[in-house]
Amino acid sequence: MNPCVRFGKKPTEMIFFQSLTQDDLAQLLLPLSRDGKRSSETEEQAEVRALKRARMRARMLFVWVYQRMVTDWNLMTDLSKDLRQWLSENITIYRPEEQYNRQALDGTHKFLWKLVDGKTIESVIIPAALQEREGEEAVQRLQEDGKAFAGMETDAELDSGRWGRLTACISSQVGCAMACKFCLTGVQGLDRHLQIHEIVGQIHELRRVAPITNIVFMGMGEPLHNLDNVSKACQILLDECGLNFSKRKVTVSTSGLVPAIEELGKRVDVSLAISLNGTTDEQRSAIMPVNKRWNLDALMKACRDYPLGPHRRITFEYVMLKGFNDTLEDAARIVKLTRGIPSKINLIPFNEHPGADFKRPEDSRVREFQKYLLDHDRVATVRISRGRDILAACGQLRSIFGTARGTEKHRDYAAEAAT
């Protein structure tokens, strides 16, 4: 018999497993977990027992799906047959379709996923903890490690100890509405928000490829423009019975949607990164339209009010654009802006892409800028650009199909990069 009938429920629409927190799942399983009132108990006691059972089932399912990576309900042999049948009729374990993956010389690994409506998004795995170290030697070692990573064929070889951090950079939207002038994703405009399962699904899928240790929402899209889905996805990513990421290792990066920063802090405990990129309102508004709505004062106030746990910092990302925001006066203003905020400044020399109006500053200028910040008691790192040979670096991600307003030039180039 159809268990929906047996449990007195109408068959519901197919639900994606990765869109549910453990609590959501337990609520969904509650009607199936009631087995009538025993003579020795009250209605209330029977309900408590059913809820306990539903919660236990939800926990077991999280372990099966996220930790044992099983996708076939029938293999979950410690669950009742009825429940397994109900699951197979009502819940789908989402697997994004891999359109292609490419690996850069430095080991950075880019994935293009095709969503069910044919739209595409990208995620990138960035291996090694070397991103913030300095010097030629580090870059060389990175490239050697990268080659080794590229050559690895079996899961057994993917040893997270050797790799230190394996950071997954994931997308939160198809395209982006924020239209920052220097960003390739911004060029295409917003196509749509990603749903919860499409966000969690990227990590779930990447975990099959590599033992991801960190997550950054720095792929395509503005995560706080899609706050409901991103905050729920973060809750799922942090679940101890599921993918079990630590709150310190999940970072949401935003261009500065002030009310959403506050709301994020209320909903979920994750790390925050702010794309600062400008040091006066005039300068910042010229490259980031969002600044016209919420200016630097409002943004820095939101950062001061963000509920940071002990020993945690906000990361300020600063894309360095030659001749635009790379002077020592800018560095001095960063020092002033960040006063009193536990923070670190991550300098990102601009990654050039076809059609871009900006240039990358000389390395010597970047070092000088960094030195100024260090000399003024700021933690300041320079992000070594990763994956540039496959257009996987910061701000170089975009979908290649179904673009909203990408230019032909961009489209052709991206399509070429995808072959």
> Would you name the residues annotated as active-site residues?
122, 394
Indicate which single residue of 146, 186, 201, 349 sits in contact with ligand SF4 (rule: CB under 6 A). Answer: 186
Residue 384 and residue 130 in contact, taking contact as beta carbons nearer than 8 Å: yes
Our finding on whether 350 is near ligand SAH (CB under 6 A) is yes
Residue 143-182 contact track with ligand SF4, rule CB under 6 A, x = bound:
---------------------------------x-xxx--
Question: From ligand SF4, ligand SAH, none, which one binds at residue 277 (CB under 5 to 8 Å depending on kind)?
Answer: ligand SAH
CB-based burial of residue 46 (10 Å sphere; 0-12 exposed, 13-18 middle, 19+ buried)? middle
Which residue from 283, 282, 279, 286 is spatially nearest to 316, judged by alpha carbons? 279
Our finding on whether 107 is near ligand SAH (CB under 6 A) is no
- Residue whose C-beta lies closest to ligand SAH: 395
Our finding on whether 395 is near ligand SAH (CB under 6 A) is yes
Indicate which single residue of 106, 205, 222, 326 sits in contact with ligand SF4 (rule: CB under 6 A). Answer: 222
Our finding on whether 325 is near ligand SAH (CB under 6 A) is no
Cβ atoms within 10 Å of 290's Cβ, excluding its own: 23
Query: Smallest distance, Å, CB 220 to ligand SF4?
Result: 6
Residue count at the site for ligand SF4 (CB under 6 A)? 11
- In three-state secondary structure terms, 22 is helix
Residue 230 and residue 172 in contact, taking contact as beta carbons nearer than 8 Å: yes
Cα 23 from chain centroid (whole Å):
22
Our finding on whether 199 is near ligand SAH (CB under 6 A) is no
- In three-state secondary structure terms, 110 is strand
Our finding on whether 351 is near ligand SAH (CB under 6 A) is yes
Our finding on whether 185 is near ligand SF4 (CB under 6 A) is yes
Our finding on whether 348 is near ligand SAH (CB under 6 A) is yes
Our finding on whether 399 is near ligand SAH (CB under 6 A) is no
Supply 133's token pair: 């170290």
- In three-state secondary structure terms, 175 is strand
Our finding on whether 218 is near ligand SAH (CB under 6 A) is yes
Our finding on whether 251 is near ligand SF4 (CB under 6 A) is no
Q: Which is nearer to ligand SF4, 181 or 365 (CB)?
A: 181
Q: Which is nearer to ligand SF4, 180 or 236 (CB)?
A: 180
Indicate which single residue of 125, 183, 380, 414 sits in contact with ligand SAH (rule: CB under 6 A). Answer: 183
CB-based burial of residue 310 (10 Å sphere; 0-12 exposed, 13-18 middle, 19+ buried)? exposed
Our finding on whether 290 is near ligand SAH (CB under 6 A) is no
Task: Supply φ then ψ for residue 141, to 5 degrees.
Answer: -60, -40
Question: From ligand SF4, ligand SAH, none, which one binds at residue 348 (CB under 5 to 8 Å depending on kind)?
Answer: ligand SAH
- Residue whose C-beta lies closest to ligand SF4: 186
Cβ atoms within 10 Å of 250's Cβ, excluding its own: 21
CA distance 179 to 173: 13
Our finding on whether 183 is near ligand SF4 (CB under 6 A) is yes
Question: From ligand SF4, ligand SAH, none, which one binds at residue 226 (CB under 5 to 8 Å depending on kind)?
Answer: none
Q: Which is nearer to ligand SF4, 185 or 202 (CB)?
A: 185
> C-alpha distances in angstroms, 386 versus 143, 179, 344, 355, 360?
10, 23, 20, 20, 15
Residue 219 and residue 123 in contact, taking contact as beta carbons nearer than 8 Å: yes
**Alpha-helical runs (H) found in 362-407:** 363-375
- In three-state secondary structure terms, 333 is helix
Q: Which is nearer to ligand SF4, 185 or 315 (CB)?
A: 185
Question: From ligand SAH, ligand SF4, none, which one binds at residue 22 (CB under 5 to 8 Å depending on kind)?
Answer: none
**Which residues neighbour 187 within 8 Å (Cβ) at sequence distance 6 or greater?**
355, 398, 405, 406, 407, 410
Binding site for ligand SAH (CB under 6 A): 182-183, 218, 222, 253-255, 275, 277, 317, 319, 348, 350-351, 353, 394-395
Binding site for ligand SF4 (CB under 6 A): 176, 178-180, 183, 185-186, 221-222, 255, 275
